[in-house]
Chain A
């Protein structure tokens, strides 16, 4: 199969999967695209929004469209790490002999829905850390690999709501994207009413296997990135650090900690998937601009002034991208260079 054919196959699979999800989910096109981008990039996605916006439904629908093992954990304050990872239990054989056997937790799945992840304590939240980063868990000193592909889709309520525990920075950094699910527009709301109150709900077909997902992940990594695009990604991430000598004024004023190198990785990997999804063989500057906010918004920690003034992180990221682009090279600089 030629490279062009592989790319065309990816584009078709991407669109088909998106179409299956859109059978159930009304609107949220951008959210659906970014969830798919995160999945093909090999990362995990955190969806944030008030209850009732269809976050859980979106993930369940996506799982239905894939021939993959799906598991769901409803995070509550009394949830323990063993409830996620699993534990050793004593099993009695038919002949009366007893032995210790590891009972796998729900994390041993291809697609894990961590619903309302910020309602559990940080201790329990951190049970996902090793699995998300290294695709394995360690129980009683024994490391156990997770099935591949492994994809965590978590939902969380806004931090201002009652009974929530903010995710630690280390946990947040493991998510490739953080997506904000907005309230639907009135046309979308009308469609939701029509579709969900119908006698026969829509059925979702399985359109992609786990092996196909893994194959597409390999293809994504072959997409070339020009040096000036890579430089822009680095400049964007560096511009989130207030200590950087070329950091913009908004960063110096409102940001306490900037994005980690995982931010740059997320930016480039996501841009590669997006380029392929559009049938392109290369990453463009526009890909970076579109994916900057999902990749960086949860990696930027505001300082007191930023919190007090209610700075919108998405707008902050927009300013940072502008300043980084001006630094890396605008048309005027190219003309006079």
Chain B
């Protein structure tokens, strides 16, 4: 590059550097002033160091900005363009600078370089890069004024409630709390039975037996609790939160919760049995409350009337014995009634509502499925799933002639009710809704299970839900 051109570019570059240094120094001053304000606001904790910190922040901002602006690279082409504009050279210097080094230079380029060089040599050095102010410069008085105000004002009160206390007392309290937390965590863990025994209490008893002059050993038992950490325990908020979280997690998995209604209230025997156990648990017959026993017997009698149970005589016997003050006889009679109740429930569960099940008498009572059906097609007592009671050699009877050909009957035990079967819906509204279910529970389950398997096979169900759906049907079958 010819020397005059290089000189012009160099001069302009230096001017640009200085202007940039001014520009970025002002920006640095602005942000340094903001830091200074923050330091002065905290002058009470910083004490005598606030003012030096503020001054240093301002100085660092100015110096860093100026340094950044000065060392920032100035492309020679940009400097040449600035020179062209400033001196009215019609892009001669920039074009010459660019084309002088190009291999595809045309013959006119040499003339251009000579022309540009001659014009550059005749230029009088002057400041061509104007001063530019950053946007922050307009707002610069604000942080400076605030800094001055805060400097002259008394120290601002700072919120101290949540600030950490760094004194030694605080450390001991924190250590103590940490110890309590650890102990409570230990208590929450399932420990072996021998570890649950309070070793601290044992040691304390030992100390007391060893004798001493302390006030805690003066024979006052309350001192034991006064002295232990149990007495000092405050409500453990963490454990409270943890229990709450566990409950929330259980609520999120509501489908996995046991069906309490089904397990304890739907089964009348279980409900009565549970109440009787609660009444008699661990007590002799003479220790049982006659009033509560009478209430239980009344409940059993009511259930017997409602379900045509055959334990009414036993209940009456128990009531008579109770009135005679013979509570042991009353308990025996109640035990008999419970056994009969259990037998009835097992019978219902084995062949409920199905023709050919074990509930031949119940079927007759309810008047189902008898019309137009020969008796030899009925399976009678013992043709159900109860082992060893049927006429068949097979322990579960002969299922082939009882099951329909439809795949939806797979898994249905016994034979579905007679009559027109035009659908599988079990929840009907209107006129049809008043009629009883026309398909057995297990048949419906099988039907839906089949649909579920088809849907999963056709990938209509998201893969993530496959396991959950299968678990659901598995739970239904187990129930």
Do A and B form a real pair?
A: yes
Chain A residues proximal to chain B, CB less than 8 Å: 2-4, 7, 219, 222-229, 275, 280-286, 329, 331-332, 334-337
By the criterion CB–CB under 8 Å, are A222 and B107 in contact?
Answer: yes
By the criterion CB–CB under 8 Å, are A335 and B16 in contact?
Answer: yes
Given contacts A332-B132, A335-B20, contact A281 B98 (CB under 8 A): no
Say yes or no: is B344 at the interface (Cβ < 8 Å to chain A): no
By the criterion CB–CB under 8 Å, are A224 and B91 in contact?
Answer: no
A-B contact pairs, 12 of them (CB 8 A): A3-B111, A222-B107, A225-B95, A227-B98, A280-B90, A281-B109, A282-B91, A283-B95, A284-B92, A329-B81, A335-B82, A335-B129
Chain A residue nearest in CB terms to B115:
A281
Report the minimal beta-carbon distance from A279 to chain B, rounded to whole angstroms.
9
How distant is the Cα of A224 from the Cα of B106 in the complex, in angstroms?
7
Main secondary structure of the interface of B (DSSP, over half): helix
- Inter-chain contacts of A331 with B (CB < 8 A): 82, 85
Say yes or no: is B168 at the interface (Cβ < 8 Å to chain A): no
Say yes or no: is B110 at the interface (Cβ < 8 Å to chain A): yes
CB within 8 Å of A: which B65-123 residues: 75, 77-78, 81-82, 85, 90-92, 94-96, 98-99, 105-112, 115
By the criterion CB–CB under 8 Å, are A282 and B96 in contact?
Answer: yes
Report the minimal beta-carbon distance from B202 to chain A, rounded to whole angstroms.
80
Report the minimal beta-carbon distance from B127 to chain A, rounded to whole angstroms.
14
Chain B residue nearest in CB terms to A334:
B78
By the criterion CB–CB under 8 Å, are B111 and A7 in contact?
Answer: yes
Given contacts A226-B99, A334-B81, A335-B132, contact A286 B108 (CB under 8 A): no
Chain B residue nearest in CB terms to A282:
B95
Contact among A224, A228, A229, A329 for B108, CB-based, below 8 A: A224
Chain A residue nearest in CB terms to B98:
A226
- Inter-chain contacts of A227 with B (CB < 8 A): 98
Question: Lowest 5 CB-CB distances: which A-B pairs, in order?
Answer: A281-B112, A284-B90, A282-B95, A226-B95, A222-B106
Report the minimal beta-carbon distance from A205 to chain B, rounded to whole angstroms.
29
Say yes or no: is B19 at the interface (Cβ < 8 Å to chain A): yes
- Inter-chain contacts of A329 with B (CB < 8 A): 81
How distant is the Cα of A337 from the Cα of B75 in the complex, in angstroms?
9
> Which residue among B16, B82, B94 has the maximum number of chain A CB atoms within 10 Å of its CB?
B94
How distant is the Cα of A219 from the Cα of B78 in the complex, in angstroms?
28
Given contacts A3-B108, A335-B20, A337-B78, contact A285 B91 (CB under 8 A): yes
- Inter-chain contacts of A281 with B (CB < 8 A): 92, 108-109, 111-112, 115
Given contacts A223-B108, A224-B105, contact A282 B78 (CB under 8 A): no
By the criterion CB–CB under 8 Å, are A7 and B95 in contact?
Answer: no
By the criterion CB–CB under 8 Å, are B91 and A4 in contact?
Answer: no
Report the minimal beta-carbon distance from B157 to chain A, rounded to whole angstroms.
44
- Inter-chain contacts of A336 with B (CB < 8 A): 20, 23
How distant is the Cα of A157 from the Cα of B298 in the complex, in angstroms?
117
Report the minimal beta-carbon distance from B293 to chain A, rounded to whole angstroms.
90
Contact among B81, B82, B99 for A224, CB-based, below 8 A: B99
Contact among A4, A219, A228, A275 for B77, CB-based, below 8 A: A228
> Which residue among A282, A285, A337 has the maximum number of chain B CB atoms within 10 Å of its CB?
A282
By the criterion CB–CB under 8 Å, are B91 and A284 in contact?
Answer: yes
Chain B residues proximal to chain A, CB less than 8 Å: 16, 19-20, 23, 75, 77-78, 81-82, 85, 90-92, 94-96, 98-99, 105-112, 115, 129, 132
- Inter-chain contacts of B129 with A (CB < 8 A): 335
Contact among A4, A226, A335 for B94, CB-based, below 8 A: A226
How distant is the Cα of A285 from the Cα of B107 in the complex, in angstroms?
22
- Inter-chain contacts of B94 with A (CB < 8 A): 226, 228
By the criterion CB–CB under 8 Å, are A286 and B90 in contact?
Answer: yes
- Inter-chain contacts of B108 with A (CB < 8 A): 3, 7, 219, 222-224, 281
- Inter-chain contacts of A283 with B (CB < 8 A): 91, 95
Report the minimal beta-carbon distance from A335 to chain B, rounded to whole angstroms.
6
Chain A residue nearest in CB terms to B107:
A3
How distant is the Cα of A281 from the Cα of B115 in the complex, in angstroms?
8
Chain B residue nearest in CB terms to A223:
B108
- Inter-chain contacts of B23 with A (CB < 8 A): 335-336
- Inter-chain contacts of A284 with B (CB < 8 A): 90-92
How distant is the Cα of A329 from the Cα of B81 in the complex, in angstroms?
10
How distant is the Cα of A283 from the Cα of B75 in the complex, in angstroms?
21
Report the minimal beta-carbon distance from A272 to chain B, rounded to whole angstroms.
10
How distant is the Cα of A221 from the Cα of B397 in the complex, in angstroms?
108
How distant is the Cα of A3 from the Cα of B111 in the complex, in angstroms?
7
Chain B residue nearest in CB terms to A5:
B111
- Inter-chain contacts of B112 with A (CB < 8 A): 224, 281-282
Chain A residue nearest in CB terms to B80:
A226
Known pairs A334-B82, A335-B82. 20 more at Cβ < 8 A? Answer: A3-B111, A219-B108, A223-B108, A224-B108, A224-B109, A226-B99, A227-B98, A228-B81, A229-B91, A282-B96, A282-B112, A284-B90, A284-B92, A286-B90, A331-B85, A332-B132, A334-B78, A335-B16, A335-B23, A337-B75
- Inter-chain contacts of B20 with A (CB < 8 A): 335-336
By the criterion CB–CB under 8 Å, are B85 and A226 in contact?
Answer: no
- Inter-chain contacts of B105 with A (CB < 8 A): 224
> Which residue among A7, A285, A329 has the maximum number of chain B CB atoms within 10 Å of its CB?
A285
- Inter-chain contacts of A332 with B (CB < 8 A): 132
Report the minimal beta-carbon distance from B35 to chain A, rounded to whole angstroms.
24
Chain B residue nearest in CB terms to A272:
B108
Report the minimal beta-carbon distance from B190 to chain A, rounded to whole angstroms.
67
How distant is the Cα of A226 from the Cα of B23 in the complex, in angstroms?
29
- Inter-chain contacts of A222 with B (CB < 8 A): 106-108
- Inter-chain contacts of A280 with B (CB < 8 A): 90, 92, 115
- Inter-chain contacts of B92 with A (CB < 8 A): 280-282, 284
- Inter-chain contacts of B75 with A (CB < 8 A): 337
How distant is the Cα of A163 from the Cα of B11 in the complex, in angstroms?
63
- Inter-chain contacts of B111 with A (CB < 8 A): 2-4, 7, 281
